[in-house]
Amino acid sequence: MSTPMKTSSQDIQDMIKSEQVSIIQRITRVQALQIVLVLLTISIIFSIMAPDAFLTVFNLRSIMMNTAIFAVLGVGATFVIITAGIDLSIGSVLIFSSVISAMVMGNLGASGWTTSLIGLGAAILSGAAWGWLNGVLVAKAKVPPFIVTLGTMGAALGLAQVLTGGIDLYEIPTEMVDTIGFGNLFGELPNLVVLAAVVCLLGGILLHLTRFGLTTYAVGSNPEACRRVGVKVDRHLIWIYIISGVTAGLAGWMSIAFFQQTSIGGNSMTPLTVIAGVVIGGTSLFGGIGTIFGSVIGLLIPVVLQSGFIIIGVESYWQGVVIGIFLIAAVYIDGKRRERAARGSGRKPRRLQVGGVQVGSTEKEGIK
């Protein structure tokens, strides 16, 4: 009985020790580190195979440009997936927002910065509206997120087609095309990439440093525990889907700046590409685990593969095959980790993410 009392000073020592090593541990534990190694390996292979084509400023720029819009979508998707949800509607919401934005800007004469910024506001608002609808249906009506967002995926695209008759809109202010779509910072850094990086940074700060972010992990980890301590889980989930809608809306505005038109027929694979990247980057579909950094790396991999395959002369269709394998491997590894963690305390866990115990398995472990 006196064991804990006797060891209490030992406990303090242990606690302090565990805090001291934490910074090094924290770095090595980040699962994204493994995926960074994968990305580096791929890049090195391509660099060796095509030294004067792959590692060029031009190619790196185009890789970043091609990742930028996905990365913005990936920020919202990471938040959603950490809550153990899914948002399949992001591609269609991107299209819908870009259509609304283009229509608003077209009506205002399609020129000038004021018009462009009003267009940005329109895109973000329409994205937020779809996100709100998703969130309310998931949190309040208790319809599974997969079904809700499958429904709004069809509805948002359908409405975009109804509004345009299925014909893409081309009236985009040249100011935003020149600056956002093709402008550069310091001569070489595309503004589209800078904008995406700012969004990722803000998303990372919100997720990793604020109370809102911590609540996001908690809700994904054990919603019932959150309810018992008074967290407004439903309201939080609605905000999460609104964030996903807002990033989709912003991505829609960036997309029309870059392509100089809406792309009604061009985003059918977008949600799957983004979700695959986020999951490859270490965010768990079962909730409670994930980082924005990992998602960005996970989203870079398909783009790097595609670029590399084209350069070394492999048909770029192979990219789909490789990404498929990566995706399944990532979820397999995640599942293994959860299993190991659920099996109990005997073995010392080696990574932070090992804590993938679901509520159910905690109880099972207890009974045993």
Comparing CA positions, the residue from 153, 162, 165, 129 lying closest to residue 269 is 153
User: What backbone phi and psi angles, to 5 degrees, belong to 189?
Assistant: -90, 115
Comparing CA positions, the residue from 309, 324, 235 lying closest to residue 275 is 324
Whichever of 7 and 316 has its CB closer to other proteins, that residue is: 7
What DSSP state is assigned to residue 179? I
22 binds other proteins (CB under 8 A): yes
Q: How far is the CB of 135 from other proteins (least distance, A)?
A: 19
Whichever of 167 and 229 has its CB closer to other proteins, that residue is: 229
Whichever of 165 and 368 has its CB closer to other proteins, that residue is: 368
In sequence order, what DSSP letters do the residues of 98-116 get, joined into one string? HHHHHHHHHHTTS-SHHHH
- Look at residue 146 and give its three-state secondary structure: helix
Q: How far is the CB of 80 from other proteins (least distance, A)?
A: 16
- Look at residue 190 and give its three-state secondary structure: strand
Q: How far is the CB of 140 from other proteins (least distance, A)?
A: 18
Q: How far is the CB of 43 from other proteins (least distance, A)?
A: 31
Q: How far is the CB of 287 from other proteins (least distance, A)?
A: 8
User: What backbone phi and psi angles, to 5 degrees, belong to 88?
Assistant: -85, -10
Give the one residue of 212, 266, 310, 311 binding other proteins; rule: CB under 8 A.
212
Give the one residue of 98, 101, 221, 283 binding other proteins; rule: CB under 8 A.
221
Whichever of 175 and 365 has its CB closer to other proteins, that residue is: 365
Quote the distance between the C-alpha of residue 2 and its chain's center: 49
Cross-strand pairs, 288 = none
Taking CB under 8 A as the criterion, which residues in 330-359 touch other proteins?
341, 344-345, 349, 352, 354-359
Distance in angstroms (rounded) separating the CA atoms of residues 262 and 171: 9
Distance in angstroms (rounded) separating the CA atoms of residues 318 and 328: 16
Taking CB under 8 A as the criterion, which residues in 171-200 touch other proteins?
none
What DSSP state is assigned to residue 268? S
∠ at Cα 81 (80, 85), nearest 5°? 75
Task: Please give the structure tokens belonging to residue 147.
Answer: 């079904």
Q: How far is the CB of 203 from other proteins (least distance, A)?
A: 14
Give the one residue of 24, 165, 167, 211 binding other proteins; rule: CB under 8 A.
211
Number of other residues whose CB lies within 10 A of the CB of residue 114: 12
27 binds other proteins (CB under 8 A): no
215 binds other proteins (CB under 8 A): yes
Q: Segment contacting other proteins (CB under 8 A): 121-129, 226-234, 253-261, 318-326?
A: 226-234
Whichever of 57 and 348 has its CB closer to other proteins, that residue is: 348
Whichever of 141 and 229 has its CB closer to other proteins, that residue is: 229
Q: Is 165 left (phi over 0), alpha (psi -120 to 50) or beta?
A: left
Comparing CA positions, the residue from 27, 78, 121 lying closest to residue 213 is 78
208 binds other proteins (CB under 8 A): no
24 binds other proteins (CB under 8 A): no
Taking CB under 8 A as the criterion, which residues in 256-295 touch other proteins?
287-289
Q: Which amino acid is at 208?
A: H
Give the one residue of 107, 114, 174, 210 binding other proteins; rule: CB under 8 A.
210
Q: How far is the CB of 238 from other proteins (least distance, A)?
A: 17
Comparing CA positions, the residue from 177, 173, 170, 182 lying closest to residue 115 is 173
What DSSP state is assigned to residue 189? E
230 binds other proteins (CB under 8 A): yes
Give the one residue of 24, 52, 141, 228 binding other proteins; rule: CB under 8 A.
228
Element (H, E) at 11: helix 8-20
209 binds other proteins (CB under 8 A): yes
Whichever of 88 and 207 has its CB closer to other proteins, that residue is: 207
Which chain residues interact with other proteins by CB under 8 A? 1, 3-5, 7-8, 11-12, 14-15, 18-19, 22, 25-26, 206, 209-212, 214-215, 217-218, 220-222, 224-226, 228-231, 287-289, 341, 344-345, 349, 352, 354-359, 362-363, 365-367
